[in-house]
Amino acid sequence: MSLLDKVRALLGRDAVLEGPASGEIPRVAPPTPDAVALLLGTAHEEGWRVRVEGTGSWLPPDAPADLTLTTRRLDRVTAVEPQDLVATAEAGIGWDALRQQLADRGAWLALDPPGIAGRSLGSVVATGTAGPLRAGFGPVRDHLLGVTFVTGDGRIIQGGGRVMKNVAGYDLTRLQAGAFGAFGVIVLVHLRLRALPRADETLVLEGPAEELLAAADEIRAAELAPAALELLSPALARRERWVLAARLVGSPAAVAAEEGDLRGVAGGRFAPLRAEEAHAFWSRAAEAFALRPVTFRVGGLPEGGEELLDLVRHQLSDEWVSAAPGVGSIRWAGEASAERLRRLRRTLAGQEVPLTLERAPWALRSAVGHFGAYREGVGPLVAGLRHTFDPKGTLVAAVEGDE
Amino acid sequence: MDSSLASALAGLVGERHVRAAHAERLAYAMDGLPTHHSLPGLAVLPGTRDEVVAVVRLLADLEVPFVPRGAGTGLSGGALADHAAVLLVLTRLNRILKIDVANRLAVVEPGVVNARLSAAAAPHRLHYAPDPSSQTACTLGGNVAENAGGPHCLKYGVTTSHILALEVVRADGSVVNLGSPGGEPWGPDLVGVFVGSEGNFGVATRITVRLVPLPRAVRTLLADFSSLRAAGEAVSAIIGAGLVPAALEMMDRSCIQAVEDSVYAAGYPRDAAAVLLVELDGRSEAAVDEEARQAASLLSAQGARHVRQAADAKEREKLWQGRKKAFGAMGRLSRDLVVQDAVVPRSSLPDVLESIAAIAARYDLVVSNVFHAGDGNLHPNISFDARDPETVDRVEHASAEIMATCIAAGGTITGEHGVGLDKLRYMPLVFDGDSLAAMHAVRRVFDPDERVNPGKVIPVHACREWAGVRNAEFGMRNVRSRVDSAFHIPHSALDV
Ligand SMILES: Cc1cc2nc3c(=O)[nH]c(=O)nc-3n(C[C@H](O)[C@H](O)[C@H](O)COP(=O)(O)OP(=O)(O)OC[C@H]3O[C@@H](n4cnc5c(N)ncnc54)[C@H](O)[C@@H]3O)c2cc1C
């Protein structure tokens, strides 16, 4: 029996999305977590290599493999509890569909990941890509109460749970967030929500990057803590100059107070955007990161933010850059060779600043890896964990690269 | 324990810092959990990271198991060692190595006491936000190991959200740095999986934490209710309205009485069935005032008899003192106190609280509740006398039924105190054999011989087989036979 026949026999004819054209590998869309486990258990036994995709909009579907497992049929929101501010959703649901279903119940997931609106929830979790709201609401992992995942040999594992606090057992949820699929396929996610904010304002300030960074410093020194404070390059902001954008979220009273304080900074030049302008502004910036071939993030400290930005601009380019001065992180998109990325990564590592490759064509991913070289002693731990969760290397993931 | 080990350790850390005599070891026979005690073979107190490494290497060479210990305030028996194990006490590693005001972070040794860090950061208008009620005693190493919470974690997040990087000494004595100062994991999130691992993954010897600006405006409300149910419903009303209080704590009548009878009397109304302590904070006085007004009207609408706002810092302090010292106050009610810990969905608080009251009545026990209501994190505390086996028997049955009730409501068996020894038996009620086996396998990646804190967290007998992992009985042995437990829970008690 061919691989295709075996998969059809296992999961039914319509689990294989389309008859693969010559040279293409089959794309399989299991309809349930159990079906994912069945498929991976078989792949493990048969020695098939599996690449995992959500809706296929973030990482290009180009890794060498025998078949593609797509989570796109795992697209249900199985529970929303607005009173408890928790929800459970399958990993393949698109971000926009999830957001809408939550909003219908007055709830909000305080994450604004880069990428297109239809990007899958699982891909956001697996790549740990938070957007500007990270400044106020933390990284992706802070929004997760639990995950269910399937290991490379087809076991279904539950980490965490559905309640706000949980220290029963080790934190496998955090292990999955941002592991780029190296430890299993995420199938179900328990989310921590917030009430849909009653006030949500965005103010912007334009100018040279250095001046805006100084304004960001002032904001921080004044202990203002906007939900997002992001410095965007002109191309990203679609403006003539760099833009410092502040998003204020919360009760009308708190937002009004913050807005007043913010206008007191930088000589009162912060200008508010209308609601629909603000929405377009943030979503355009998020989507832009899915348009260029390479995206990475670096995680530094607030104090060294300006030098870090200079370094990235200098070694690569400064066309598509978004920086969170209060967090110390920078996201960059553009074109870059493996050599340049390696060099930048080495320079940054010397300053204890990691560079995480978020998206790139396979050739680049496999050459430099999402993480590259780890700090001393970490490599054996990651290798041990990979072996634990995927003993035969069934899941294709380029975490370390060739180095 | 072999006296040659004691002298070898003394050679590494100095004779004064090795405790081998029976009387000395007795000081370490318990942690904050009154139902378990166990004499360690030895206790050793290294004074530096290098001494920790040297001690751990020696123990690795000799294949001796060991248990890291902070202040010993843990409530699940996690810091107990048996006669075959060495207790590695970290309280001498108590230096605050750096407070980086510009980047709002601090680097500390694991023995630094939680409240001391906040005190040291206060002149810079910063603090370390997670504030367990034991914060004047517990260490940051213990907080990391347990992923500790506290009243203000409702708004600011529990320990795991505040740990940026860790230096860890593994069981073989190797040193590994996890995370990065900015908080980006630098690979998979190994800091995230270390936090809450209860000492099973190695010894945290250096901890980089986030510091948060002190709030400029604070309002503290005390609302009293004539029924537990109404108080529970008020919690959901506040959260559902989109308010994010810094803290939202509940105390029931029995707890109120205990506090008011103690030196920590806070002026809580003695006739109330429950009080809620609600704190709102932020940067702007006007905005926090407005939120406090909104909270007060929600509380009244939910049936609060009175809503009182602390007039000044002194009154606020007093209201909080009662809450933070409630365990101590309850400790006076009886010889022993079991501080239970479980989590339920917020909206099921009213039902679960009523069920717990019914369980207490059925077993004729005094159960007092003081807990983090905003997170649904319950602490039903059972007062009893551990000398009476018949009472102990009732306490264990009641505890098991309370856990079962919380699980049935969609909750879990611990929100902040950890599994340790105490909750091992409940783990199979929340995780299946594969998930337990996965956790066990992860532990063995960090510590292949299971020598750090053996026998805790994962009930090995309940794990399904996992490739490459033998189902070592090693861990389970000391749970039943080596550690004296006042508890022998019949499994039938869990079938409720
Ligand atoms: C009155 C009272 C109130 C409490 N209130 C709260 C509360 O509000 N919230 C809360 O979360 N907890 C609370 N606790 C529980 C306890 O204080 C916490 O679990 C605390 O984090 C334990 O710290 P410790 O230093 O005492 O650790 P210990 O009890 O000494 O150890 C606890 C665990 O941590 C491990 N450990 C200690 N140090 C290290 C290290 N450096 N590296 C690796 N492992 C280590 C030990 O092996 C053990 O498993 C309370 C306890 C008491 C007695």
- In this complex, the residue of B187, B282, B413 whose CB is nearest that of residue A168 is B413
User: Would you say residue B382 lies in a domain?
Assistant: no
Confidence band for A23, pLDDT divided at 50, 70 and 90: confident
Q: Which of B186, B284, B427 sits opposite A254 (nearest CB)?
A: B284
- Percent of chain A at pLDDT exceeding 90: 91
Classify residue A177: in a domain, yes or no: yes
The Cα B130–Cα B139 span in angstroms is: 12
Residues of B in contact with A386 (CB under 8 A): none
Q: Per-residue pLDDT averaged across A99-128, rounded?
A: 97
Chain B residue numbers touching A78 (CB-CB < 8 A): none
Q: What's the per-residue H, E or C state across A316-368? A: CCCCEEEEECCCCEEEEEECCCHHHHHHHHHHHHCCCCCEEEEECCHHHHHHH
Average pLDDT over residues B456-482: 63
**What is the domain-level CATH number for residue A332?**
3.30.70
Look at residues B213, B233, B264 and tell me which one is the last residue of a structural domain. Answer: B213
CA-CA distance, A40 to A45, in Å (whole number)?
9
CATH code at B8? 3.30.43.10
Same domain, B258 and B224: yes
For residue B480, the model assigns a pLDDT of 36
For B393-446, the pLDDT digits (tens) are: 999 999 999 999 999 999 999 999 999 999 999 999 999 999 999 999 999 999
Residue where a domain stops, chosen among B296, B328, B360: B328
The pLDDT assigned to A402 comes to: 80
- Residue A403's pLDDT is what? 65
Q: How far apart are CA B205 and CA B97, in angstroms?
A: 12
Across the A:B interface, residue pairs with CB atoms under 8 Å apart total 262
What ipTM does this complex have?
Answer: 0.97
CB nearest A174 (choices: B102, B193, B446): B193
Which domain does B103 fall in, by range? 96-213
Do β-strands A320-324 and A294-299 pair in parallel, antiparallel, or remain unpaired?
unpaired
Same-domain pairing of A102 and A32: no
- Say if residue A91 is in the same domain as residue A186: yes
Same domain, B229 and B199: no
**For the whole model, what pTM was predicted?**
0.96
Map residue B207 onto helix, strand or coil: strand
pLDDT of residue B490: 35
Q: Is residue B221 part of a domain?
A: yes
Span B123-147, mean pLDDT? 97
Same domain, A183 and A84: yes
Answer yes or no: do B199 and B286 share one domain. no
Is it the case that residue B280 has pLDDT exceeding 50?
A: yes
Ligand 1 pocket (Cβ < 6 Å) reads B 31-32, 67-75, 78-79, 90, 110, 132-134, 138-139, 141-143, 145-146, 148-150, 198-199, 203-204, 327, 416-417, 453
Tell which of A288, A316, A336 closes a domain. A288
- Using CA coordinates, name the residue in chain B closest to A375: B177
Atom of ligand 1 nearest to the CA of B199: 44
Q: Which of B109-118, B189-198, B388-397 has the lowest mean pLDDT?
A: B388-397
| Single residue among B190, B213, B236 that ends a domain in this structure | B213
For residues B123-135, one letter each, b for 16 or more C-beta atoms within 10 angstroms of the residue's C-beta and e for the rest, the string is ebebbbbbbbbbb
Read off the amino acid at residue B441: A
The answer as to whether A399 is a domain residue is no
Domain encompassing residue A92: 77-195
Same domain membership, residue A110 and residue A137 = yes
Q: Three-state SS for B366?
A: strand
**Within-domain flag for A382:** no
Q: Do residues A240 and A319 share a domain? A: no
* In a domain? residue B393: no
pLDDT exceeds cutoff 80 at B486: no
Distance CA A22, CA B203 (A): 54
Q: What is the pLDDT of residue B331?
A: 84
Q: Give distance in angstroms: CA of A52 to centre of ligand 1.
A: 40
Same domain, B205 and B147: yes
CA-nearest of A272, A278, A316, A310 to A295 is A316
Instruction: Please check whether residues A266 and A306 belong to one and the same domain.
Output: no
Q: Do B124 and B196 share a domain, yes or no?
A: yes
User: Quick one: CA torsion of B358, B362, B364, B370, rounded to 10 degrees?
Assistant: -20
Chain segment A62-96, per-residue pLDDT in tens: 999 999 999 999 999 999 999 899 999 999 999 99
Centre a 10 Å sphere on the Cβ of residue B99 and count the other Cβ atoms it contains: 18
Distance B196 CA to ligand 1 centre (A): 10
Q: Do residues B198 and B253 both lie within one domain?
A: no
| Residue B478: pLDDT over 80 | no
Within a domain: residue B311?
Answer: yes
User: How confident is the model over B46-69, as pLDDT tens digits?
Assistant: 999 999 999 999 999 999 999 999
Tokens of B281: 């904070």
Which of A20, A38, A70 terminates a domain? The answer is A70
A264: domain CATH number? 3.30.70.3450
Same domain, A35 and A95: no
Cβ B86 vs Cβ B44: under 8 Å: yes
Q: Which of B48, B73, B136 most suits a substitution to test ligand 1, by most atoms within 8 Å of the C-beta?
A: B73
Question: Cα(A199)–Cα(A219) distance, rounded to whole angstroms?
Answer: 20
- The pLDDT of residue A318 is 80
Is residue B345 predicted with pLDDT exceeding 70? yes
Let me know whether A155 and A96 are in one domain.
yes
- Do residue A221 and residue A251 come from a single domain? yes
Q: What CATH number has the domain bearing residue A60?
A: 3.30.43.10
Residue pair A159/A147 in contact by the 8 Å Cβ criterion: yes
Both A134 and A50 in a single domain?
no
Q: How many domains does chain B have?
A: 4
Residue A396 in this model has a pLDDT that exceeds 70:
yes
Whether A12 is in a domain gets the answer: yes
Q: How far is the CA of A196 from the centre of ligand 1 (A)?
A: 35
Task: Give the total number of structural domains in chain A.
Answer: 4
A402: in domain: no
More confident residue, A13 or B175: B175
Q: Is residue A359 part of a domain?
A: yes
From atom 15 of ligand 1, which residue's Cα is the shortest distance away? Answer: B74
* Contact: A164, B376; criterion CB under 8 Å: yes
Q: What is the CATH number of the domain that holds B258?
A: 3.30.70.2190
B244 and B311: one domain?
Answer: yes
CA–CA separation, A69 and A389 (whole Å): 17
Q: Tell whether B353 is covered by a domain.
A: no
Query: Mean pLDDT over all residues of chain A?
Result: 95
Q: Kindly state whether residue B154 falls inside one of the protein's structural domains.
A: yes
